[in-house]
Each structure stands twice: as C-alpha cells, then as structure tokens.
Amino acid sequence: MDVEAKRIMALSISKLYSLRTQRGGLRLHRSLLLSMTMRAARDIYHTAQLLRDAEEEQVVPCAPDAATEEPMEISKDSSQTLTPKEVAMKPQESLEEDKENRCASERHSRKRRDKAALEPDFLPLKKAKMDTDEEKQHLQGEILRTNNGNSCRQADTLTAFPTNRAIVAC
Amino acid sequence: MAGAGGGGNDVQWCFSQVKGAIDDDVAEADIISTVEFNHSGELLATGDKGGRVVIFQQETENKSQPQCRSEYNVYSTFQSHEPEFDYLKSLEIEEKINKIRWLPQKNAAQFLLSTNDKTIKLWKISERDKRPEGYNLKEEDGRYRDAATITTLRVPVFRPMDLMVEASPRRVFANAHTYHINSISVNSDNETYLSADDLRINLWHLEITDRSFNIVDIKPANMEELTEVITAAEFHPHQCNTFVYSSSKGTIRLCDMRASALCDKHSKLFEEPEDPSNRSFFSEIISSISDVKFSHNGRYMMTRDYLSVKIWDLNMENRPVETYQVHEYLRSKLCSLYENDCIFDKFECCWNGNDSVVMTGSYNNFFRMLDRSQRRDVTLEASRESCKPRQVLKPRRVCAGGKRKKDEISVDSLDFNKKILHTAWHPQENIIAVATTNNLYIFQEKVN
C-alpha cells in the first residue's frame, strides 16, 4: 500500500515541478489538485512508516527515539519491507483541517505573503523538501505526543494513531 | 429539417461534414478549444489554441430538395487573441480561446464574446455586399483625381459587390483577472455578462470596458487555506439575477445578485455526499466539476465531472435527480490516467433544444448521448472512417473486462490522445458539432 503511495507522491511532485515551466503561467486548479493528491499519498506513506516504526518499537523495547529523518528523495529507498496493513475508514474532517494547515506552507512562499494579490500566490516548490521534513517531525510529534516519543508504551502509541482513509489500489 | 430534437435513440445520426486538416500530424495551434452555436443555430463558431476564431454559416435550405441537407461553410475567420507577455510577473499569456459566447442578435450584425486566460473581447461580425461608386474626388481605385480635371458633379451610388464578412473588435475587457479565466456567460438582460477565473467572478456591462464589478471572491485571506477553486459559471437563461458556479470540490453554488452586492454567500448549495466505497487517492480530482450548463427551460442544470454527468433540479440541493456514467470502465484505471495527465481533462456537456437529451465527450473520439426521457444511452464515434455522406453512425461498445465480444473495443485499446472535450447541439434541430483534437465533425439526424 505505501509503495503505491510513494509512487503517487513522487509522481505528484514531478508534475508540480513541471507545472512551473508550462506556458501560460502556473495553473492554480491543477496545482491544487496535484498538491491534494500528493498530500493524501504522503500521509498514507508516512502513517505506514510510523506503523512500521511502531512495530519496531514493540520488538525492541526502550530503544531511543526511533524516528528517523527520511529525506524526500525517493531514490534513497529504505530497505525495510512492508508488512501489509489494513487501514480502516476514517472520518475526514479533523485530519483534513490539520493537513491543510501543515501542507499549505509547501504551497505558499513566505516571501510572497506580503505582496498584494497581483500575482498567483502559488509557491515554487523549492520549499517543499525543507517543509516536508519539518512537517514530518510535526506529524510524528503529534502522533507520539502521548508518550513523549521515547517510551515503549505500545498500546498508547497504537491507539493514539489516527485511522486512515481507505485507499483503493489502482 | 425536423423540429426540436427528439430522443437521442430513436434518432439515427449521420455523418454530414468534417472540417479541418486530414493529416495526423496536428499543429498545436489548430487544436480546437471551444465550439458554440449561435442562438438561431445558423452560425457555428470554433476557437483554437492559436487564438483564431472560425465561424461557419449554415446554407439556406434548398426546399425543393429536402434530401439535400444544409451544410455549414466557412463564413469568417479572424485572429481573436495574440500571445502576450506579462512583464511584471514574467509570465506568458496564452492566446488559446477558452470560451466563445454569442450575443442574441439585435440587428444585421452578429456579436460574440471570446476570451483567453486574461482578456475578453467583443467582436462584431458584419456583412458588406454593396459599395459606393462614382465619387467625384476619387477614382475607383482610391487615388485622388486632379481637381482641375473635374468638370461635372455626380451623385455616388451603391452597387452590389461580392459578399465580404468583416470581423472587428468592438470592446476589449482586460486587466480584471489575476487568475485564469475559465468561463464567460451572457446575461438574459442582454446588457451584462460575467467572467469567472479560479477564485473570482466579475460582472461586466457590455458597453463599459474600464470597470467591472466583483461579485464572487473565494480567495482566502491566507492562501495556505485554499481548498477549492471555481471551475465554471453560468447565468440563468431567464432570471437575470441568478447565476451558478461550480467548484473543484464537486459543489455548485447558486447565487442571487439581489441578495447582496458580493455574492460570497450562496442562496443554494448543491452537493451530493460522496460514496465512501469509491474513495481513492484520486477522489478529489474526479469529483472536480469541469462544466455546468443550465437547461434551456431553466429548471435544471447539468454538471460534468470526470466520470459522470449529473442533472440537478434547482429546487433540490442534496442530490442530483439523474446521474449518468460516461465511462465507468475508467474508474479502475485512474492511476494510469493520473500518470498520463488524462485525469485532468475537462470535458464539456450540452443539452439538446428541448432538454430531453444531453451529450458529452469521452476518449477514443467517442461521445455519449444520454436520453433522459427514455433512460437510454448510446456511444458514437467521430472518425474519418465513417465519413461517407449520410453514413449512419453505428453505436460503439467498450468492453470493461473479461471476454470481448465482436464489435466491442477493450478499455486497453482506447486511444487516450483522441479526446472529445467540446461538443455543441443546435438550439432547434438535431444537428451536433463534435470537436476532436483538430477536426470539427457535424452530424445530423437521418431523414428519410
């Protein structure tokens, strides 16, 4: 499942990059749809990662914080194999709002915020890499906040975990 | 010709004409980007990616030969928009014509609005079939005569000449849109029209070019909170105070301009709850509405999203009254369609004259006729292979999976580069114009 998510995430990012060179200026609608898809894929990917990390924590109790910084470069593939996980349906609203706030900074340049609405306020993607690392930490922080990220209270980790949207594999 | 178009399925469709180059090597400038009949159906306008507008005119029927159908021939061709460069933002502005809308005819001349991403233009198309001859001070070729040689006076007279059709830009409505214009719609009051971009809708007076009123603005104060954009907008056909706009989230908002100057608060919100079993990575994209059209009687509106056409009753907001699947076999292929960008294709849809049948395009140069009254649908193809005069179009079938029957085409054999995005239906007769990438097909009802 997260292999698919990773692929879609990479695909979305490359499409977002190529939008910048397209004739006619940045297309807001297309960019919005691409970002949403990328976010959805990324969230699935990250939560799958976290599930895996959580499993590892179970296996090795009292290990130090297992959160590893994974760069956005998809070429650097982790060697972990994924155990298939079933993801349950989830009510969307709370997580979506969160995602919007977190992910929107990818799309918005802090530099341009002050300018009047003379230009399309769509961010060139240079910020994407940096921000997603930050956001990943933030996401992890949220998930693990009940146990400070250091403890081995598996039960809390798992139940504090927001459930995911059902994704139909294509 | 028969009267207002009847059902789409007891009608047999025949090939009538095809316009455009035959060769497969398509020049990008020739890609058709919009098709529109005028209010009488006598004129058919197309816009292309190169910024040109071509208008076809229906020849007056030869009543003595009812078998001989009237044909559409080129009436006028002109360059509507040129590529521009926005120096402030270092952006190129495409000359592609996004939409053409005709004004109802008021006098001998015809008027249409054409728009690219940023600028709307009002064009006057007029005929000249006489010219004055016999000037005193000028020769026929325009050279001035030597005053000393003039000994008599004469009155110039109008003499017939070969018909000349002139297109002249009468108004240019510019600099009102930060984002890309996706729709224009002429109001039933014949004085105003709206233009919509991704985040804003402006109201114009046809006579005034230096000002427009902003009537919808969904731009959030913080662009980080942007979740949806406007994808299409249209005025109600009879109520000059009412318009609708659709969004990328699959919702339609109906607004009443009498309620307030800024119509950010809708009067009605049309939205169908999502089917959770169909949820996927691409649910957002395929629920985005690509076109919205009111029915001619003004009681219904139709929306097109990636996989379906929905008919909404204006009095019922919580769900459409009818839903038609255009190409449901694509639902399992969304990932590939995302990869090749086809999932972003914006299909349009249209009503027939009496609102009993709707039509929309698909891939492989297929288009779909959906008969509302008889609850039947048919898939037809616009292809050079069915181009014999009056050749009846054979229904096509797509095999979704499993065993392919004879005459069926499998989903994997569909050509996704051959897409029909733009179609138009004559307002009174069963004549349709279907645009493939660079060709315009005209089909007519079979008459016996």
Taking CA atoms, what residue in B is nearest to A43? B281
The beta-carbon neighbor of A170 closest among B179, B223, B280 is B280
pLDDT, residue B67, reads 54
In a mutagenesis test of the A interface, which of B115, B179, B305, B329 is the best target, namely the one with the most A β-carbons within 10 Å?
B179
Q: How far is B309 from B378, CA to CA, in rounded Å? A: 14
Q: Contact B93/A24, CB-based, under 8 Å?
A: yes
Is the pLDDT at B383 greater than 80? The verdict is yes
What is the DSSP track for B214-229? EEEE---SSGGG----
pLDDT band at A60 (very low <50, low <70, confident <90, very high): low
Positions of E strands within B70-118: 72-79, 84-86, 91-93, 99-102, 110-115
pLDDT, residue B205, reads 98
Is the pLDDT at B280 greater than 90? The verdict is no
Query: Contact, B83 vs B89, CB < 8 A?
Result: no
Q: Which residue is it, tokens 């898809």?
A: A37
Length of chain A: 170
pLDDT band at A85 (very low <50, low <70, confident <90, very high): very low
Q: Contact A28/B338, CB-based, under 8 Å?
A: no
Reported ipTM: 0.88
Is the pLDDT at B34 greater than 70? The verdict is yes
The beta-carbon neighbor of B344 closest among A30, A104, A113 is A30
Is the pLDDT at A16 greater than 80? The verdict is yes
- Torsion of the alpha carbons at A7, A11, A14 and A15, rounded to the nearest 10: -170
pLDDT, residue A61, reads 57
Cβ–Cβ contact A165 with B under 8 A: yes
pLDDT band at A93 (very low <50, low <70, confident <90, very high): very low
Q: Contact A30/B339, CB-based, under 8 Å?
A: no
Q: How far is B256 from B268, CA to CA, in rounded Å? A: 9
Residue with the bigger pLDDT between A93 and B295: it is B295
Tens digit of each residue's pLDDT (9 = 90 or more) over B197-208: 999 999 999 999
Q: How far is B16 from B202, CA to CA, in rounded Å? A: 39
In a mutagenesis test of the B interface, which of A1, A29, A98 is the best target, namely the one with the most B β-carbons within 10 Å?
A29
Residue with the bigger pLDDT between A25 and B10: it is A25
Cβ–Cβ contact A166 with B under 8 A: yes
Tens digit of each residue's pLDDT (9 = 90 or more) over B120-143: 999 999 999 999 998 998 888 888
A146–chain B nearest CA distance, Å? 28
Q: Which residues contact B239 (CB under 8 A, 6 or more apart)?
A: B188, B298
Give the residue-averaged pLDDT of B395-415: 87
pLDDT band at A62 (very low <50, low <70, confident <90, very high): low
Taking CA atoms, what residue in A is nearest to B118? A24
Across the beta sheet with B300-304, the strand order is: B291-294, B300-304, B308-313, B322-325
Positions of E strands within B329-401: 349-351, 357-361, 366-371, 376-381, 397-399
Considering chain A, what is the average pLDDT of its residues?
57
pLDDT, residue A128, reads 43
Q: Contact B224/A101, CB-based, under 8 Å?
A: yes
What is the DSSP track for B235-283? E-SS-TTEEEEEETTS-EEEEETTT-SSTTS-SEEE-----GGG--TTH
Give the residue-averaged pLDDT of A37-66: 77
From chain B, pick out residues whose CB is under 8 angstroms from the CB of A95. Answer: none
Q: Contact A32/B228, CB-based, under 8 Å?
A: yes
From chain A, pick out residues whose CB is under 8 angstroms from the CB of B282. Answer: 37, 170
Q: How far is A113 from B321, CA to CA, in rounded Å? A: 43
From chain B, pick out residues whose CB is under 8 angstroms from the CB of A41. Answer: 281
Cβ-Cβ pairs closer than 8 A, A with B, add up to 105
Q: How far is B149 from B155, CA to CA, in rounded Å? A: 17
Least confident stretch, A86-90, A151-155, B257-261: A86-90
Q: Contact A37/B281, CB-based, under 8 Å?
A: yes
The beta-carbon neighbor of B92 closest among A24, A36, A100 is A24
pLDDT, residue B63, reads 58
B305: which 2 tokens?
């999203």
pLDDT band at B218 (very low <50, low <70, confident <90, very high): very high
Give the residue-averaged pLDDT of A88-111: 40
pLDDT, residue A58, reads 75
Q: Contact B284/A36, CB-based, under 8 Å?
A: yes
From chain B, pick out residues whose CB is under 8 angstroms from the CB of A100. Answer: 224-225, 227
pLDDT, residue A119, reads 39
Is the pLDDT at A91 greater than 60? The verdict is no
B277–chain A nearest CA distance, Å? 8
A154–chain B nearest CA distance, Å? 29
pLDDT, residue A145, reads 38
Q: Contact A170/B278, CB-based, under 8 Å?
A: no
Helices (H), B129-209: none
In a mutagenesis test of the B interface, which of A21, A33, A47 is the best target, namely the one with the most B β-carbons within 10 Å?
A33
Least confident stretch, A16-30, A49-63, B250-264: A49-63
pTM: 0.79
Tens digit of each residue's pLDDT (9 = 90 or more) over B300-352: 999 999 999 999 999 999 999 999 999 999 999 999 999 999 999 999 999 99
pLDDT band at B60 (very low <50, low <70, confident <90, very high): confident
Q: Contact B198/A29, CB-based, under 8 Å?
A: yes
pLDDT band at B66 (very low <50, low <70, confident <90, very high): low
| Rounded to 5°, angle at Cα A130 from A124 and A133 | 135
The strand pair at B408-410 and B397-399 is best described as parallel
Cβ–Cβ contact A111 with B under 8 A: no
B177–chain A nearest CA distance, Å? 9
pLDDT band at B364 (very low <50, low <70, confident <90, very high): very high
pLDDT, residue B288, reads 97
Is the pLDDT at A110 greater than 90? The verdict is no
pLDDT, residue B62, reads 63
pLDDT, residue B64, reads 57
Residue B325 amino acid letter:
Q
Taking CA atoms, what residue in B is nearest to A41? B281
pLDDT, residue B389, reads 85
Least confident stretch, B6-10, B164-168, B396-400: B6-10
A45–chain B nearest CA distance, Å? 12
Q: Contact B338/A36, CB-based, under 8 Å?
A: no
Considering chain B, what is the average pLDDT of its residues?
92
Q: Contact B280/A8, CB-based, under 8 Å?
A: no
Q: Contact A170/B339, CB-based, under 8 Å?
A: no
B8–chain A nearest CA distance, Å? 34
